[in-house]
Structure 1
């Protein structure tokens, strides 16, 4: 079962699991995911779709659960912050209850946002983070931190087989054009002839992982030995400033006009994963370079936006 399977990462993961021969049940309420992401899978003999909100209990029979359900971009998770927190907390309780009843192995798609605006660089899993508990991002940041708490408490109290992945910035085809994340923002703005929006002075950094690499990491974590619980960072350690990313996009698409906006509240200044654990425990590291991944992403948005 893939909760949030109609979302950006979930739809890629669903295809990967189907290609590997699994039967896959996608559960999604289409708050931020879209039917178009999985339209081509309808009619597949091992694919099933259930429209359902994970804040309500779910009664199905499954062997493994990838729990991705939660809006992951600021535009979506800040639109209804109370629902975002409920999705993180109530959704995790319901998924963990299902795993307890069925004996399923369950993986949580957590996030680098649990580190907040980090005072440690790069971020390793032992770092406890620097999160504002009452800011506009805290519905997601603290929601995911609480989800991690629940996963480990169910593991300790009930012996559940859990996996926790802390996902850093990921990009690629099937991103929503309006999701507010920087790669899709820059690509869509460039393709439609608009100035690229730079927040602050553009010196803040992110590390961008192509979605195929990320999905490979999730599958490896799920398939790892039961004593490998995580949390494990999954991301690309290559660090780029927002200005560098904007320049890479304009090199591919054209343009080059920038529009400055104030830095949003609590926006992290630096973000880079330490992936030593993923390398050592999972034998995983990203393979797709930013230039190659951006080119694939641009081609996807050219088709979606129908621009030459």
Structure 2
């Protein structure tokens, strides 16, 4: 039974295109749309993970609404967009390390691919709104001197005593965009290009800046330093040490993928989010070291090892969530402690999520 009182009830009976719809976040959005009585259509290359990982995500490559293709395919995207009421553009080369290693690929997928989607939306009058998935990485390391209120200055002083440095809180309307990685730079460009392209024709759009997304069934990739909950849990499960890059003093605002999916869909339909940019986070800072300690609560024998900071890895900060709460009428539900516990429990029940190459690391010790 569908809750007709929910603002998401208006999605019932609609068709929603989700680019990147087979990834962790995209597949969760697709699943939520089905629960709401909408018809989700997903575009994805299905080449980022082995087939068994997509099965963990609940992705069926034979589903006629699962379009295996590339967002840079102009004809394919135009056909797909033409039949949809809404578009969520979540497809991207989203790994910071991968973008740093291959900047031209990052530009091609994250910028050229976005333009293909925007052009398709401009060419049809059916689409009611596009949500562009951006990232908190656009804020970079923030401005340590920025403090807009006595309350914020007090909070910063408290956090500085805990983390040993100023920890910025990022505001959509006042914090400057200062990307420090190729990935963040493509996202910053994408925000501006979305506004320029759709704003020129009066099309509705919303930009959502995700903070650090985690949660089951997230799985790790080799040569990556993203997705720390999944990385730490997988290594701990195999008795491997947890590497704390830069000592683990980077701060993240961890938000569970279930909450991300809910927030994204609310941004898709809320009248108040037209042409808005919204942080999607919890408003609570958590250091990388604190995440490692939460993992150690479940794997008491795990050891920590310090490692150098990788290129493009921001010191980070946390979200101001006042605007999110105001325009979405909603706040995240899952705490970091509960989310980490859920992930560990899922991993123990799902050993197939541990990649074979990580076992090889274990056997080579």
Deviations 1:53-73 (A, max 9, x none): 112212222111110001222
User: 1:170 & 1:110 partners in 2: Cα distance?
Assistant: 12
Deviation at 1:226, TM superposition (A): 6.6
Q: Distance in 1 between matches of 2:235 and 2:70?
A: 32
Given the alignment of the two structures, is residue 110 of structure 1 paired with residue 134 of structure 2, yes or no? yes
Q: Distance in 2 between matches of 1:36 and 1:98?
A: 32
Which entry has the higher C-alpha Rg, 1 or 2? 2
* Equivalent residues of 1:62, 1:102 under 8 A apart: no
**Partners of 1:2 and 1:112 in 2: how far apart?**
20
Q: Is the 2:122–2:201 contact (alpha carbons within 8 Å) kept by the matching residues of 1?
A: yes
Alignment match, 2:172: 125
The 1:79–1:18 alpha-carbon spacing in structure 2 relative to 1, beyond 3 Å, is farther
Answer yes or no: is the 8 Å Cα contact 1:118–1:268 preserved in 2.
Answer: no
**Secondary structure of the residue that 1:102 maps to in structure 2?**
coil
Contact 2:27 2:59 in 1 (8 A): no
- The C-alpha deviation readout for 1:178-215, integer Å capped at 9, x for no partner, is 25321111111111100001011222211110111111
Once structures 1 and 2 are overlaid, which stretch shifts more, 142-151 or 176-185?
176-185
Residue 15 in 1 paired to residue 31 in 2?
yes
1:62 pairs, out of 81, 84, 91, with 84
Aligned mates of 2:220, 2:295 — CA distance in 1 = 15
User: 1:115/1:31 Cα in 2 relative to 1: closer, same or farther (>3 Å)?
Assistant: farther
- Residue 75 to residue 227, structure 1, CA distance change in 2 (3 Å): closer
From 270, 290, 305, the equivalent of 1:259 is 305
Conserved? CA contact 2:239–2:302, under 8 Å? no
**Residues 34-85 of structure 1: CA deviation (Å, up to 9, x unaligned):** 654554453998x611111112212222111110001222244334321111
Measured at CA, do residues 38 and 185 of structure 1 come closer, stay the same or move farther in structure 2, by a change above 3 Å?
Answer: closer
| C-alpha contact 2:21 2:91 (8 A) present in aligned 1 | yes
CA distance in 2, matches of 1:168, 1:14: 20
Distance verdict in 2 for CA 1:295–1:33, change over 3 Å: same
- Which of 56, 60, 67 is residue 42 of structure 1 equivalent to? 60
Q: Which residue of 2 aligns with 1:192?
A: 238
1:302 Cα offset (Å): 2.1
Indicate how the Cα distance of structure 1 residues 282 and 151 shifts in structure 2: closer, same or farther if over 3 A, else same.
Answer: same
1:153-232 equivalences in 2 (<5 Å): 153-178=196-221, 180-181=225-226, 182-225=228-271, 228-232=274-278
Mapped to 2, the partners of 1:98 and 1:226 lie a distance apart of: 24
Q: Name which of structure 1's ranges 31-40 and 103-112 shifts more when overlaid on structure 2.
A: 31-40
Q: Does structure 2 retain, via aligned residues, the 8 Å contact 1:198–1:242?
A: yes
What is the count of residue pairs matched by the alignment? 302
Aligned residues of 2:96 and 2:312 also touching (Cα < 8 A): no
CA distance in 1, matches of 2:51, 2:271: 34
What is the CA–CA distance in structure 2 between the aligned matches of 1:200 and 1:82, rounded to whole Å? 27
Q: Residue in 1 aligned with 2:41?
A: 25
Alpha-carbon distance in 2 for matches of 1:286, 1:217: 8
Quote the RMSD (CA, aligned, Å): 2.2
The runs of 5 or more residues in structure 2 that have no matched partner are 1-16, 147-167, 354-365
Whether 1:92 aligns to 2:92 is: no
Aligned to 2:103: 81
The residue matched to 2:244 in structure 1 has which SS?
A: strand
Aligned to 2:319: 273
State the distance in 2 between where 1:78 and 1:240 align.
25
TM-score of the two chains, using structure 2 as the length reference: 0.77
CA distance in 2, matches of 1:116, 1:227: 24
Deviations 1:94-117 (A, max 9, x none): 111111122312110100011112
CA contact (8 A) 1:6 1:34 kept: no
